[in-house]
């Protein structure tokens, strides 16, 4: 009987001490005095890894996309059957050759001839020296039999 009187208080004391130690450890871990991870480790190891991974992902996402920005035009030569796809707002100026408006769906109005204020559906021929504007993401032109020489301003891909 006396043994039970000694064991029960000893177990209660052990439980209370364990709970107190757990509360103390939870309260001090991760504090500015005892961080879970050091800032120098973050700066020296983790940040460069994240930056490299971000650069790789951005490069993969932008692969094949070209930009003729700053309001300047870039000369692009297209062979027969090549497609030039632009982003919304990309400007196209057919200088020589032949090309037709091209869309993912034939009914899409993808290119606007700003010189004549006409909306060109897929398959409509572009006029030489007319400024055209891509109005749908992925809209663009398809070079004719003799190819095309186009001035482009904006985001575009050639395929």
CA angle 31/20/16 to nearest 5° reads 170
Find out whether 120 and 113 touch, Cβ atoms under 8 Å.
yes
pLDDT digits (tens, 9 = 90+) for 3-47: 666 677 777 777 777 777 666 666 655 666 666 777 788 888 888
CA distance 78 to 97: 9
Q: Which class is 66-158 in CATH?
A: mainly beta
Q: What is the pLDDT of residue 26?
A: 62
pLDDT digits (tens, 9 = 90+) for 97-110: 999 998 876 667 78
Q: What is the pLDDT of residue 145?
A: 92
Structural domain boundaries in the chain: 2-61, 66-158
Site of tokens 């930009």: 67
Q: Give how far Cα 1 sits from Cα of 5, 12, 14, Å.
A: 7, 17, 20
Percent of the chain scoring above 90 in pLDDT: 30
pLDDT digits (tens, 9 = 90+) for 50-64: 888 888 888 777 666
Lowest mean pLDDT among 61-65, 85-89, 120-124: 61-65
Q: What is the pLDDT of residue 3?
A: 64
């Amino acid at each position: 009987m006396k043994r039970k009187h000694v064991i029960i208080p000893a177990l209660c004391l052990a439980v209370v001490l364990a709970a107190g130690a757990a509360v103390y450890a939870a309260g001090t871990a991760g504090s500015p005095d005892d961080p879970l991870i050091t800032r120098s480790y973050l700066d020296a190891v983790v940040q460069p890894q994240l930056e490299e991974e971000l650069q790789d992902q951005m490069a993969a996402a932008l692969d094949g996309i070209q930009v003729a920005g700053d309001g300047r035009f870039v000369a692009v030569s297209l062979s027969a059957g090549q497609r030039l796809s632009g982003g919304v707002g990309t400007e196209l100026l057919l200088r020589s050759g032949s090309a037709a408006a091209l869309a993912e769906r034939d009914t899409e109005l993808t290119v606007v001839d700003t010189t004549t204020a006409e909306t060109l559906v897929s398959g409509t021929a572009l006029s030489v020296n007319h400024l055209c504007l891509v109005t749908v993401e992925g809209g663009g032109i398809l070079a004719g039999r003799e190819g095309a020489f186009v001035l482009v301003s904006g985001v575009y891909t050639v395929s």
